[in-house]
Amino acid sequence: SIKTLPHKSTNYSFDINKDYENKNVIIEVDCGQKKVFRTYFSCSLKVSIIENYAELKVTDGKGVPVPQVYIKAFSQQTNGEVKFFKDGYTDMRGKFEYGYNNTEKLTNIDKLSILVMSDKHGSLIKECKLPTMVVKDADVNFLNARQVQKYRKWSFKNNKKAAVGKVLKKK
């Protein structure tokens, strides 16, 4: 329906029609010279993101885990390019590991945008930073054979209960 902004007002709020209350809708605001469109996502989901472990949990309004919710993650690269990252469904616990993707190098990712979509409970979009607990290629150093031998000697000398590459017999 068409609403008119009261004279000299800069803000206006209104209730969404009951027919559209539980649906995703696009709202158009037309101010003559300028038109703005906004998407309204109706959603009864609660999404908790655990950034350090690249995991999210989806629950309903009562806190009950919601399985089979569709998740689609996009990555924004450090150069500004947006790429598809990963998609899938929440498991029986309402959880989805969004940050693990064997084909994508994590070193060039600035942030992630995650679409959470349920036919019954609605949709929403969340943004989060790159998970800090996920190992990036640049963080991994490989040891050569000499370094491994030095570590074994050090480990055995400093830890009598266990050593890398050694089997200790019980007395």
More confident residue, 110 or 158: 110
121-131 pLDDT, tens digit each:
888 899 998 76
DSSP string covering 79-102: TS-EEEEEEEE--TTSEEE-S--T
Is residue 17 domain-resident? Answer: no
Cα gap 62→21, rounded to integer Å: 19
More confident residue, 107 or 80: 80
From residue 80, how far is each of 87, 115, 125, 127 by CA, in Å? 21, 19, 19, 15
Is residue 2 domain-resident? Answer: no
Strand partners, 84: 74
Is residue 111 domain-resident? Answer: yes
Is residue 61 domain-resident? Answer: yes
Is residue 88 domain-resident? Answer: yes
Q: How confident is the model at residue 142 (pLDDT cuts 50, 70, 90)?
A: low
Is residue 16 domain-resident? Answer: no
Domain count for the chain, please give it.
1
- Token pair of 43, please? 């959603």
- pLDDT in the model for residue 89: 96
Q: What is the CATH number of the domain that holds 72?
A: 2.60.40.1120
Is residue 58 domain-resident? Answer: yes
62-71 pLDDT, tens digit each:
999 999 999 9
CB 116 within 8 A of CB 125: yes
Is residue 89 domain-resident? Answer: yes
- Is the pLDDT score of 49 beyond 90? yes
- Token pair of 124, please? 């929403």
- Token pair of 115, please? 């679409």
Domain containing 100: what range? Answer: 46-137
